Amino acid sequence: MANERHYSPVDRLLLQADAALRTLLPFSGQPNRPSPAIVQPEVELDELTTQHIAGLMRINHTGEVCAQALYQGQALTAKLPAVRTAMEHAADEEVDHLAWCEQRIRQLGSHPSVLNPLFYGLSFGVGAVAGLISDKVSLGFVAATEDQVVKHLDDHLQQIPAGDEKSRAILEQMREDEAQHATSALEAGGLRFPLPVKFGMSLVAKVMTQSTYRI
């Protein structure tokens, strides 16, 4: 297309740096959709329950930080323009989740994980390597990652008390979006990872969830 803009490698690195700052700095991501929690009533929660829900939302927030980094890393090294565009679009959609989780964490009187910069860097590197290997592997990694996210969300939804409709509404919408991302990645030609690879990914995800629940 005549009006398509082509970025130099330096331009793309600067864009990645900007994306990293918008992901990691507090309240820097502007969602395209309002939080599903807005229309839900606030309820009184005891201190222990509030801390537990905040820990769950902190895990999900860090998961969205990792998703941002993964997509940005893959977009940097994707070989086909269509795949690069798809990765960038998916990253834009994840901004909504990132902002919603942060808003809820703050409402619960807590804070995002201090480990987010570490997990961002690791996820960006994994995404970039996957993109370098092939677009098929890159898309397959997206599908496998989103499958893991859906499982975590299912588990968290079971732990959210019935009265906390704000947190539940956020997680339910996130689950719907993440499942669609996984399906889209496979339909675009993503590789279906074997079970041993998925098991290894689940172990890494477990380290993330256990470390960010409290910090």
Task: Dump pLDDT digits (tens) for 26-56.
Answer: 766 678 889 999 999 988 999 999 999 999 9
Q: With 50 as the cut, is the pLDDT of residue 1 above it? A: no
Q: Establish if 160 belongs to a structural domain.
A: yes
Model pLDDT, residue 171: 97
Q: Which residue has the higher pLDDT, 139 or 154?
A: 154
Q: Establish if 38 belongs to a structural domain.
A: no
Q: Establish if 27 belongs to a structural domain.
A: no
**What is the DSSP annotation of 136-175?**
HHHHHHHHHHHHHHHHHHHHHHHHS-TT-HHHHHHHHHHH
Provide the domain limits for residue 120: 44-212
Distances (CA, A) of 120 to 7, 8, 85, 134, 158: 23, 23, 20, 21, 27
Mean pLDDT over the full length of the chain = 86
Binding site, annotated residues for Fe cation: 64, 94, 97, 146, 178, 181
**What is the DSSP annotation of 10-46?**
HHHHHHHHHHHHHHHSTT----SS--GGGGSPP----
Binding site, annotated residues: 64, 94, 97, 146, 178, 181
Q: Establish if 11 belongs to a structural domain.
A: no
Q: Establish if 21 belongs to a structural domain.
A: no
Q: Kindly give the interhelix angle for 47-77 and 195-212, rounded to the nearest 10 degrees.
A: 130
Q: Establish if 6 belongs to a structural domain.
A: no
Q: Establish if 24 belongs to a structural domain.
A: no
Model pLDDT, residue 55: 97
Q: What CATH code is carried by the domain that includes residue 109?
A: 1.20.1260.10
Task: Dump pLDDT digits (tens) for 158-180.
Answer: 999 988 999 999 999 999 999 98
Total domains, the chain: 1
Q: Establish if 31 belongs to a structural domain.
A: no
